[in-house]
Amino acid sequence: MAQKITLKKIAKDLKVSISTVSKALRDSHEISMETRDKIKEYAREFNYKPNSIALSLKNQKTKKIGIIIPEIVHHFFATVISGVERVANEKGYQVIITLSGESFDKEVVNMDMLANGSIDGFIMSLSKETMEKQDFHHLREVTNQGMPVVMFDRVSNDISCDKVIIDDVAAGHEATEFLLRKGRKRLGIISTVDYVNVGRLRSQGFKQALQQRGFEVEDRQFLKIEDIDSCEKDIENFVVNNNFDAIVAVNELFAVMASKALQKAGKKIPEDVAIVAFTDGILSKFASPTLTTIGQNGEEMGGVAAAILIEKLESKNHDNEIYETVIVKTTLIERESTP
Amino acid sequence: MAQKITLKKIAKDLKVSISTVSKALRDSHEISMETRDKIKEYAREFNYKPNSIALSLKNQKTKKIGIIIPEIVHHFFATVISGVERVANEKGYQVIITLSGESFDKEVVNMDMLANGSIDGFIMSLSKETMEKQDFHHLREVTNQGMPVVMFDRVSNDISCDKVIIDDVAAGHEATEFLLRKGRKRLGIISTVDYVNVGRLRSQGFKQALQQRGFEVEDRQFLKIEDIDSCEKDIENFVVNNNFDAIVAVNELFAVMASKALQKAGKKIPEDVAIVAFTDGILSKFASPTLTTIGQNGEEMGGVAAAILIEKLESKNHDNEIYETVIVKTTLIERESTP
DNA sequence: ACATTCTACGAAAACGTTTTCGGTAAAAGA
DNA sequence: TCTTTTACCGAAAACGTTTTCGTAGAATGT
């Protein structure tokens, strides 16, 4: 019902000019106390709030940052968003979220939609399909326009921008070494296909840790999941048919599937088989047994990514071509799945 | 590096007027084929995309919808967002997300930030604190301005707008009746404090179902959780000290806590105690045993909410004061926690 | 009494679009 | 040849701000 109240309307009602109203509301000394008070009271009464679209147009900045992630129904990404949102809000920015659904085309479309002035900068994690195709033209297009991009988790070396990651190799190494120190000798890893960098790198750390201890590393120790929706049988076969005494899983889901399959086969966890998972989500805390995990601190990653992006947005010299890669520390959280 | 390309720039480079460029790009017959082609090719070459901020200002609509939810690291809300995003994107809308963190003040601040022209309409679920205070002035303010609001899940009868909910009473009834039909006689329910409507209503359904079957209902059958972070002990006491043979829990977390406490106490599930949970999330699928749940179909709720909102946004007669409340069907999913 | 400095305000441009309204020239009609 | 239509294009307003500049009148200085 009540019309949107604008400077123009206030000006007309109070019989002053638009500039006077604008200045009065910003407490300009150019306007007499008398008129200032009159205008401010009127504005308060009618609950005037400056139109943010007009401000965006005028200032050539939107105070919004765009996030593109593969999925939101995924604990890790949800925590990252939570972190982004926290620091963004602190600094007066809003967060626009779009989902690629692991699809390259949707990623491109969403980027295009946001890159036309809707936002000031991007925070994103690549879709699986994008990593497979290795096609980054949409990212180049955006960065070439001078719009800052911060990538996290699923990043690419082919594109130069700020990045926030964990040291996946070191984390894979740490998980493995942790199990080895517990005296385990027959290790297996459940990972993703190699083009997903986090899976590849964690596997690499796994391999390194074993080799440093003088173990032979064979292909049968590696299971690489392609499709997350139909991997249950594969995981069951993998853990039951190989006489492992410890399993590393690159995410919670794989870990809990392995855990269940092993228990079904009569194995005891952690006595017979120990398990270390990645991503310290809700599953790890409430599975039976609870899972020892390498926490990725998604909240922190999101916060750091947002801080870097905003820093860049508000820095004066725009041609600052120095990009940083922040490595967020992982945290090993011991629970029941390891002795 | 490369400057943002605008109509003005194209016009200058091609020595025509801005209007000509605009018309040419929209294939106006007022412009000759020759100039049209020239302009369109130039635009394509420099990858011109109309500035969405300018369009928003001109059209007085942003094609963005704002979501305010208590938490994103929560499977149900994540699925709702996913649903909203899906249908919003289909219709050319973008989604802006803000988190209240269950805080009234943050909810108000975020609403104010978005209500100043940033978005065309709201989809929201109330924070716990808001429900406790019963203070809805921020919602009134927004709806009075003529901005459509669609509430879901945590709604209030005090505010008139479109709503998308499940029939919580019926769902509580269904869960209870399901257990009764399985022959269970000593039921308990783990719920939230009463000012959270979903907890209250589901408890109500629980009570009704028991009474219809002629059972006495006592207070000791109800546990009402206030603080989700420190409820583990309460739940353990509740389920262990009362000789229940069946438990209804208003969310997954409570259910899995109950399940673990019971197993620790030597009870078998579902033989000794059966459990039905609400919210068909990841925990229900992977807990041990897996949980029978009442699925709230969050994805669908989000989709419906978005559809209603967009419908309202695009309807011509703006003074349409008829609000609907859509009830999304729940789905009982049987798993191992019930016989 | 005249020049100068304040005080208090308004006009207008700019951000990037779309659209309405004219307007000029050439083509068509008479 | 003169008028009317048509094809093609530009000027300007509008969306809601902020900000620069200009200026009228009052106050101050000499």
We report the CATH number of the domain holding residue A71 as: 3.40.50.2300
Query: Is B99 within 8 Å of A85 when comparing Cβ atoms?
Result: yes
| CATH classification of the domain holding A28 | 1.10.260.40
Reported as a single tens digit per residue, the pLDDT across A26-35 is 999 999 999 9
Residue B84 CA to residue B67 CA, distance in Å, equals: 9
Q: Are strands A64-69 and B64-69 parallel, antiparallel or unpaired?
A: unpaired
The pLDDT assigned to A316 comes to 61
The pLDDT assigned to B316 comes to 61
Both A225 and A156 in a single domain? no
**A10 nearest nucleotide via C1' and CA:** D16
Q: How many CB pairs under 8 A join A and B?
A: 140
For residue A86, which of B124, B66, B121, B97 has the smallest C-alpha distance? B97
Cis previous bond, A289, omega within 30: yes
The answer, yes or no, to whether residue B319 has pLDDT greater than 80, is no
When comparing pLDDT for A197 and B139, which is higher?
B139
The owner of tokens 């209603």 is: B308
Query: Is A117 within 8 Å of B52 when comparing Cβ atoms?
Result: yes
The pLDDT assigned to B317 comes to 59
Q: How many domains does chain A have?
A: 3
Reported as a single tens digit per residue, the pLDDT across B85-110 is 999 999 999 999 899 999 999 999 99
Single-letter code of the amino acid located at A259: S
Residue B71 CA to residue B66 CA, distance in Å, equals: 15
The verdict on residue B335 lying in a domain is: no
The pLDDT assigned to B4 comes to 84
The verdict on residue B276 lying in a domain is: yes
Range of lowest pLDDT (A7-16, B127-136, B149-158, B307-316)? B307-316
The string over A299-313, giving b where at least 16 C-beta atoms fall within 10 Å of a residue's C-beta and e elsewhere, is bbbbbbbbbbbbebb
The answer, yes or no, to whether residue A3 has pLDDT greater than 90, is no
The pLDDT assigned to A190 comes to 97
Encoded tokens for B226: 């206030």
CA–C1' span, B263 to D22, in Å?
A: 83
Name the closest residue (CA) to the C1' of nucleotide C16.
B54
The whole-chain average pLDDT of chain A stands at 94
Please report the beta strands in B120-160, taking only residues with DSSP state E, as ranges in sequence order. Answer: 121-124, 149-152
Distance from CA of A216 to the nearest CA of B (A): 34
The pLDDT assigned to A146 comes to 87
Residue B210 CA to residue A110 CA, distance in Å, equals: 50
The verdict on residue B334 lying in a domain is: no
Residues from chain A contacting residue B118 (CB–CB below 8 Å): 52-53, 94
CA–C1' span, B32 to D3, in Å?
A: 25
Cis previous bond, B148, omega within 30: no
Residue B102 CA to residue A179 CA, distance in Å, equals: 40
The verdict on residue A24 lying in a domain is: yes
Both B175 and B279 in a single domain? yes
Both B184 and B255 in a single domain? yes
Query: Is B57 within 8 Å of A62 when comparing Cβ atoms?
Result: no
Residues from chain B contacting residue A75 (CB–CB below 8 Å): 73, 282
CA–C1' span, B284 to D11, in Å?
A: 66
Query: Is A85 within 8 Å of B64 when comparing Cβ atoms?
Result: no
Reported as a single tens digit per residue, the pLDDT across A311-330 is 999 986 555 678 999 999 99
DSSP assignments along A32-84, one per residue: -HHHHHHHHHHHHHTT----HHHHHHHHT--SEEEEEES-SSSHHHHHHHHHH
The owner of tokens 């579902």 is: B270
The answer, yes or no, to whether residue B318 has pLDDT greater than 60, is no
What 3-state class would DSSP assign to A233? helix
Phi-psi region of A169 (alpha: psi -120 to 50; beta: other; left: phi over 0): alpha
CA dihedral sign of residues A193, A194, A198, A199: positive
Among all residues of chain B, which has the CA nearest to that of A111?
A: B94
Q: Where are the alpha helices (DSSP H) in chain A?
A: 7-14, 18-25, 33-45, 52-59, 75-90, 104-115, 128-133, 137-144, 168-181, 197-212, 232-241, 252-264, 282-286, 298-314
Both A220 and A240 in a single domain? yes
Both A86 and A142 in a single domain? yes
B35 touches strand D (CB under 7 A): yes
Both B204 and B287 in a single domain? yes
Q: Where are the alpha helices (DSSP H) in A213-273?
A: 232-241, 252-264
The answer, yes or no, to whether residue B54 has pLDDT greater than 80, is yes
Among all residues of chain A, which has the CA nearest to that of B73?
A: A78
Query: Is A72 within 8 Å of B64 when comparing Cβ atoms?
Result: no
Name A199's Cβ contacts closer than 8 Å, sequence gap at least 6: A191, A192, A193, A224, A250
For residue A52, which of B229, B270, B191, B57 has the smallest C-alpha distance? B57
Encoded tokens for A40: 């401010």
φ, ψ (nearest 5 deg) of residue B163:
-140, 150
The verdict on residue A57 lying in a domain is: no
The pLDDT assigned to A145 comes to 87
Query: In the sheet where A292-295 sits, what is the strand order?
Result: A222-225, A187-192, A246-249, A274-278, A292-295, A331-333
Domain that holds residue B26: 1-48
The pLDDT assigned to A278 comes to 94
Query: Is B98 within 8 Å of A95 when comparing Cβ atoms?
Result: yes
Reported as a single tens digit per residue, the pLDDT across B262-306 is 999 999 999 999 999 999 999 999 999 999 999 999 999 999 999
Reported as a single tens digit per residue, the pLDDT across A53-79 is 999 999 999 999 999 999 999 899 999
The answer, yes or no, to whether residue A156 has pLDDT greater than 70, is yes
Reported as a single tens digit per residue, the pLDDT across A259-269 is 999 999 999 99
Among all residues of chain A, which has the CA nearest to that of B76?
A: A73
The rounded radius of gyration (Å) of the Cα atoms in chain A is: 26
The verdict on residue A332 lying in a domain is: no
The verdict on residue A336 lying in a domain is: no
The pLDDT assigned to A283 comes to 92
Both A173 and A229 in a single domain? yes
Among all residues of chain B, which has the CA nearest to that of A138?
A: B47
DSSP A153: S
Both B4 and B66 in a single domain? no
Residue B64 CA to residue B303 CA, distance in Å, equals: 15
Please state whether the predicted TM-score (pTM) of the whole model is above 0.85.
Answer: yes
For residue B107, which of B151, B66, B148, B69 has the smallest C-alpha distance? B69
A264-270: long-range pairs with CB below 8 Å, 24+: A264/A236, A265/A239, A265/A240, A269/A336, A269/A337, A270/A336, A270/A337, A270/A338, A270/A339
Reported as a single tens digit per residue, the pLDDT across A200-254 is 999 999 999 999 999 999 999 999 999 888 899 999 999 999 999 999 999 999 9
3-state secondary structure A10-31: HHHHHCCCHHHHHHHHCCCCCC
The pLDDT assigned to B145 comes to 87
Which bases of strand C have any atom within 7 Å of the beta carbon of a protein residue? 7-12, 14-22
Both A161 and A173 in a single domain? no
A106-115: long-range pairs with CB below 8 Å, 24+: A107/A68, A107/A138, A108/A138, A110/A68, A110/B89, A111/A68, A111/A138, A111/A139, A111/A142, A112/A138, A112/B49, A113/B52, A113/B94, A114/A66, A114/A68, A114/B94, A115/A141, A115/A142, A115/A145, A115/A147, A115/B49
Which bases of strand D have any atom within 7 Å of the beta carbon of a protein residue? 7-12, 14-22
Residue A331 CA to residue A296 CA, distance in Å, equals: 7
Both A182 and A161 in a single domain? no
Encoded tokens for A241: 């048919």
Residues 36-55 of B with CB under 7 A from strand C: 48-51, 53-55
Residues 184-213 of B with CB under 7 A from strand C: none
Q: How far is CA B87 from CA B8, B56, B166, B307, B327, in A?
A: 35, 21, 19, 7, 18
Query: Is B260 within 8 Å of A288 when comparing Cβ atoms?
Result: yes
Distance from CA of B213 to the nearest CA of A (A): 34
Contact yes or no for B335/B275 (Cβ under 8 A): no
Reported as a single tens digit per residue, the pLDDT across A166-193 is 999 999 999 999 999 999 999 999 999 9
The verdict on residue A245 lying in a domain is: yes
B127-136: long-range pairs with CB below 8 Å, 24+: B127/B70, B127/B100, B127/B101, B127/B102, B127/B103, B127/B154, B128/B70, B128/B102, B128/B195, B128/B196, B129/B102, B129/B103, B129/B104, B130/B100, B130/B104, B131/B156, B131/B195, B131/B196, B131/B197, B132/B195, B133/B104, B134/B158, B134/B195, B135/B104
Overall size of chain A counted in residues: 339
CA–C1' span, A167 to C5, in Å?
A: 66
Both A136 and A195 in a single domain? no
Residue A115 CA to residue B4 CA, distance in Å, equals: 11
Reported as a single tens digit per residue, the pLDDT across B202-217 is 999 999 999 999 999 9
Both A207 and A276 in a single domain? yes
Residue A231 CA to residue A135 CA, distance in Å, equals: 27
Angle at B96 between CA B139 and CA B64, to 5 degrees: 85
B18 touches strand D (CB under 7 A): yes
